[in-house]
Amino acid sequence: MRRIEAVLFASASPVPREDLARVVGQGAQVDLLVEDLAADLDGRAFEIAQVAGGWIFRTRPAYAPAIRAAADVGDQLMDLSEFDIAVLAAIAYHQPITRDGLKDIFGKEISRDLIGRLHARGLIGTGPRSPRRGAPYTFVTTEQFLVAFGLESLRDLPDREQLEDAGALSS
């Protein structure tokens, strides 16, 4: 269990089950060891989260204001506008999608600057070239997107129909 803790502590990205199995031995029950470690951390300021196909240490959300107050994190990942998040959601639900596809959804051009900011933060990447004339680039979400929003996979995105019913997503 402590080996898993050490590996997760040292890693900046989610650690897959296979990597943890190599650390503790193939016969070990990695899931049970992670559960035991998570229970051991109960009541602490950080937790183990299962995101993007692996596990990662992260600070519990309740401590986010303290971290923001103590550290210079103003320009980090979650400093996103409502529109930025809407564009990310459109990419997540429609990927791979071109800038023209985003224009169809939002009724206006999506600036290269916005796409560049989302790409620079590692939230989106380029997907396969579109089979249309000119072969425009497409955009897809990344592992960093999953980590940032605490998702194990894109299957964990909220149900589109529920979002549409709540008025948070247009059909």
Q: Max Cα separation, the chain?
A: 56
pTM of the model: 0.60
Backbone phi and psi for residue 80, each to the nearest 5 degrees, phi listed first: -115, 140
- What residue segments make up the domains of the chain, in order of their start? 2-64, 82-165
Instruction: Indicate if the pLDDT at residue 109 is higher than 70.
Output: yes
CATH 3.20.20.70 corresponds to the domain 2-64: no
Going by the DSSP 8-state scheme, the letter that residue 111 receives in this structure is P
| CATH architecture designation of domain 82-165 | Orthogonal Bundle (1.10)
Beta strand 139-141 with 46-51 is unpaired
- The per-residue pLDDT for range 55-96, each reduced to its tens digit, is 888 888 787 777 766 765 544 546 788 888 889 988 999 999
Q: Would you state the structure tokens that stand for residue 79, as one six-digit string? A: 């400093």
Q: Would you state the structure tokens that stand for residue 163, as one six-digit string? A: 């979002």
